[in-house]
Amino acid sequence: MKAISTKKKAEPQRPQGTQRRIKLGPRLLRAFEFAAKKHAGQTRKASTIPYIAHLMGVASLVLEAGGDEDLAIAALLHDVVEDCGGAPMLKEVRRRFGERVAKVVDGCTDADTYPKPPWRERKESYLRHLAAADADTRLVSAADKLNNVRSILSDYRQVGEFVWARFKGGREGTLWYYRSLRDEFLRDVPNRVTRDLELAVKELESLAAQRSLPAIEA
């Protein structure tokens, strides 16, 4: 007769983002309304897609990765300083939604003055800033970049090389920036957002390489 084992079977791990119940309340709705109002009339680059779609996408990624209400609010507001008023807007965010949200929004902003500094200078400065940023900021920033890369990929498949004309960095500058972001985020222990960002950047690199291959004459 076999001895009965008393050792418990290991429970299957739950997907990241389901370890605890995330409480969402009226603050999130107020943040959505605030973002929708401030970004009203804005669209995604060279499209008719309302800009709020991007903000909703980033907030969704943050929540799916286990972010709490503050981080979902920061995701909805992550571009409001850069695109809707600069430094004074950050004070309004802090007053309405608190210090933690304002800190993340500030950490996701690469320019709060007008005119903005030159593109390459801004991006290099943001990468240096990101290297010292806290985990909250890095999660929201990674979700933002993942949503952006996915949009670029979708548009690239549709319009080809014309997609690069939408970006101040052009083809090579844009690829450099997202490669650099991927490498920076991968310094951390991977999470679902940074893993997906790595895959998305890899796909973008592969597609760009295919499109740049010279045509083979028959």
pLDDT tens by residue, 53-90: 999 999 999 999 999 999 999 999 999 999 999 999 99
Structure confidence at residue 114 (pLDDT): 84
Structure confidence at residue 19 (pLDDT): 58
Q: Which of 70, 82, 136, 144 is catalytic?
A: 82
Structure confidence at residue 120 (pLDDT): 96
What's the mean pLDDT when you consider all of the chain? 89
Q: Which of 64, 68, 69, 83 is catalytic?
A: 83
pTM of the full structure? 0.87
Q: Report how far residue 42's alpha carbon sits from residue 29's, in angstroms, rounded to the nearest whole number.
A: 20
- Classified as helix, coil or strand, 103 is helix
Q: By the 8 A CB rule, do 102 and 93 touch?
A: yes
Instruction: Give yes or no: 82 in active site.
Output: yes
CATH class, range 26-210: mainly alpha
Per-domain residue ranges for the chain?
26-210
